[in-house]
Amino acid sequence: MPLVLAALADDVRVRRQLDAARRDPLTGLHGRAGYTSRARQITDRYGDHALVVLADIDYFKQINDTHGHAAGDRVLAVTAQRLTAWAGSHGAVGRLGGDEFAATVRIGSARRRLRLEELAAVLAQPVDLGDGRLVDVAVSIGAAAPDTVGTTDLSGLQRAADAAMYAGKHTGQAILADRSHAAVPSVNGRRIGRPGTHSFGAAT
C-alpha cells in the first residue's frame, strides 16, 4: 500500500511540474495547449451555459514604445490577473500569445451581458506601473456562447468570439457574438484580415 501511495504522489508531482512548464512564464496563465484542454472541458460539460471570451490589448505596441517593455510586461501581467479574478477558480484562462488572452467560464444567459460589462470595466482600468506612473489601457473583447452562435465546438466559439471582438474594436464594449459572427470567413481558425492570415489560401 505505501508503494501505491508513493507512486500516486509521484504521478501528481510530475503532473504539476508538467503543468507549470506549460504555463506562460510572464503571466502564470495556461499557454494555448493547456488553456484549450481546460476550456474544452468546460464547453463540453456546460453546453449553453459556457461562455468563451477573447481579449486583445489595444495599442499595446504604443505602450511598449512610450513607456518601455517593462511597462508592457506589467500591463500584460495585470491584465492576466484581472481576467483570472473575473473568471473565478472554476474558469479557464490563457495567454494565446502576445497581447491576446482567452477565457472560458460557466455563465448563464441571464447574467452574460452584465458579467461582460463588468469585465470590460475591469480591464479598462489604468495600470499602476509601480513607480508612481499610471498607464491607460484599452482592451477589445469578444465573446461567444453556444446558444447564440449555434455550436458547442470550442474552435467555432473562438472564431465567433474573434469576429465579434474585431467588430467592436476600440469601442470599449464587450461584444457578444451571434450567428453572423460565426459565419465570418476564417483561415486556420482566425478571422481573415488578422495578422498571419493574409498569406494563406481560401477561407474555411
The pLDDT score that the predictor gives to residue 58 is: 94
* CA 66 vs CA 38, 60, 70, 124, 152: distances in Å: 36, 10, 11, 18, 41
Residue 12 located in a structural domain: no
Residue 133 located in a structural domain: yes
**60: CB partners within 8 A, 6+ apart:** 72, 75, 98, 99
- What does the chain come to in residues? 204
The pLDDT score that the predictor gives to residue 2 is: 63
**1: CB partners within 8 A, 6+ apart:** none
- The yes-or-no verdict on residue 199 having pLDDT over 60 is no
The pLDDT score that the predictor gives to residue 14 is: 46
The pLDDT score that the predictor gives to residue 172 is: 85
- The yes-or-no verdict on residue 116 having pLDDT over 90 is yes
Residue 127 located in a structural domain: yes
Q: What is the pLDDT of residues 122-174, one digit of tens each?
A: 999 999 998 888 999 999 999 999 999 999 999 999 999 999 999 988 888 99
Q: What pTM, to 2 d.p., does this model score?
A: 0.81
The pLDDT score that the predictor gives to residue 56 is: 95
Provide mean pLDDT across the span 39-61.
Answer: 96
Residue 201 located in a structural domain: no
The pLDDT score that the predictor gives to residue 188 is: 45
Number of separate domains in the chain? 1
- The yes-or-no verdict on residue 204 having pLDDT over 70 is no
Residue 21 located in a structural domain: no
**Per the residue annotation, which of 58, 99, 131, 153 is the catalytic one?**
99
The pLDDT score that the predictor gives to residue 190 is: 52
Q: Could you write out the DSSP letters of every residue in 130-158?
A: SSS-EE---EEEEEE-HHHHT---HHHHH
Q: In this predicted model, which residue has the larger pLDDT, 22 or 180? A: 180
pLDDT bracket for residue 182 (50, 70, 90): confident
Residue 146 located in a structural domain: yes
The pLDDT score that the predictor gives to residue 43 is: 96
pLDDT bracket for residue 48 (50, 70, 90): very high
H/E stretch holding 93 reads strand 92-97
Residues 146 and 177: their CA atoms lie apart, in Å, by 10
Residue 33 located in a structural domain: no
Q: Which domain holds residue 85?
A: 47-184
CB atoms within 10 A of CB 125: 13
- The yes-or-no verdict on residue 61 having pLDDT over 60 is yes
115: domain CATH number? 3.30.70.270
Residue 191 located in a structural domain: no
The pLDDT score that the predictor gives to residue 130 is: 84
Q: Is 99 a catalytic residue?
A: yes
